[in-house]
Amino acid sequence: MVTYQGIAALCRTLELNLLGVASDERGMDPQALREACRRHKPRVVFIVSSIQNPTAITLDEERRQQLAEVLDEAASW
Given this model, what pLDDT does residue 44 score?
A: 87
In sequence order, which ranges of the chain are alpha helices (DSSP H)?
5-13, 30-40, 61-75
Higher pLDDT, 1 or 30: 30
Higher pLDDT, 66 or 16: 66
State the Cα–Cα distance between residues 41 and 61, nearest whole angstrom.
Answer: 25
pLDDT at residue 2 tops 80: no
* 46-to-19, 21 alpha-carbon distances in Å: 10, 10
Cα angle 30, 73, 35; round to 5: 45
Establish how many alpha carbons lie within 13 A of residue 72's alpha carbon, considering only the half-sphere containing its beta carbon: 6
